[in-house]
Chain A
Amino acid sequence: MHTSTPTITRNAARVARTRIRVSPGSGNERCRVRTAVSRSDPAAAALRPVLVHHDATVARVSLVPDGALLVAGDGIEVDVTVDAGAWLDLIEPGGTVAYDMRGGHASWDVRIQLGAGARLTWAGRPFVVSAGADVGRSTVAQLADGAYLALRETVVLGRDGEWPGTLRQRITVERDGHPVLVEDLPLGPWPTSGLIGKHRVLASVLCIGAPVGADVESIGRLDLDDGGVMWRRLGVQAHETTLDTAWQVARGAVAPP
Chain B
Amino acid sequence: MPPHPELLLMLLADARLPAAGHTQSGTAEAALAHGLAAAELPGYVSARLASVTCVEAGTAVVARAVLLRSGGTAQLADVAAAWAARTPSPALREAARVQARALLRLADRLWPEAGALQAVRELIRPCRAVVLGAVAAHVGLGAAALARLVGYDDVQTVCAAALKLVPMDPAVVTGWVHDALPDIDQLAATVAELTEPASIPAVGSPQIEAWAQAHAATSRRLFRA
Contact = CB atoms under 8 A, between A and B. Distances in A.
Nearest to B213: A222
Interface of B is mostly: helix
A194 B207 contact: yes
Interface stretch (A45-53, A63-71, A224-232): A224-232
A194 B90 CA distance: 20
B100 to A, nearest CB: 14
Interface string A183-210: 1111000011111110100100000000
Interface in B170-225: 196-198, 201-210, 213
Given A181-B88, A183-B86, A225-B87, A195 B81 contact: no
A234 B89 CA distance: 15
B84 interface: yes
Given A1-B78, A5-B198, A202-B206, A193 B86 contact: no
B85 interface: yes
A195 B51 contact: yes
Nearest to A186: B203
Contacts of B43: 191-192, 194
Contacts of A199: 207
Interface in B55-97: 78, 81-82, 84-90, 93
B81 A178 contact: yes
Contacts of A173: 85
A213 to B, nearest CB: 16
A95 interface: no
Interface centre among B46, B90, B207 (most CB of A within 10 A): B207
A220 B210 contact: yes
A3 B86 CA distance: 12
B47 interface: yes
A4 B84 contact: no
A184 B82 CA distance: 13
A181 to B, nearest CB: 6
B210 A234 contact: yes
A6 B104 CA distance: 34
Contacts of B202: 5, 170, 182-184
B50 interface: yes
A183 B204 contact: yes
Contacts of B88: 181, 183, 222, 224, 230
A2 interface: yes
Contact of B85 (A4, A179, A185, A194): A179
Interface residues of B, number: 31
Interface in B9-51: 43-44, 46-47, 50-51
A223 B89 CA distance: 7
Given A3-B198, A4-B198, A182-B85, A232 B46 contact: no
Contacts, number: 97
Interface string A62-86: 0000000000000000000000000
A182 B196 CA distance: 14
A112 interface: no
A180 interface: yes
Nearest to A194: B47
Contacts of A232: 206, 209-210
Given A4-B198, A195-B47, A223-B90, A182 B207 contact: no
A49 B205 CA distance: 33
Contacts of B50: 192, 195
B197 A1 contact: yes
Nearest to A191: B43
B91 to A, nearest CB: 9
Nearest to B42: A192
Contacts of B196: 2
Contact of A196 (B44, B89, B206): B206
Nearest to B80: A225
B200 to A, nearest CB: 8
Contacts of B210: 220, 232, 234
A225 B198 contact: no
Given A194-B207, A220-B213, 12 more contacts: A170-B202, A179-B85, A179-B198, A182-B86, A183-B88, A183-B203, A192-B43, A196-B206, A222-B89, A225-B85, A225-B93, A226-B81
9 contacts: A185-B203, A195-B205, A223-B90, A225-B81, A225-B87, A226-B85, A230-B88, A232-B210, A234-B207
Smallest CB-CB A-B distances: 5 pairs? A194-B47, A179-B85, A225-B84, A197-B207, A182-B202
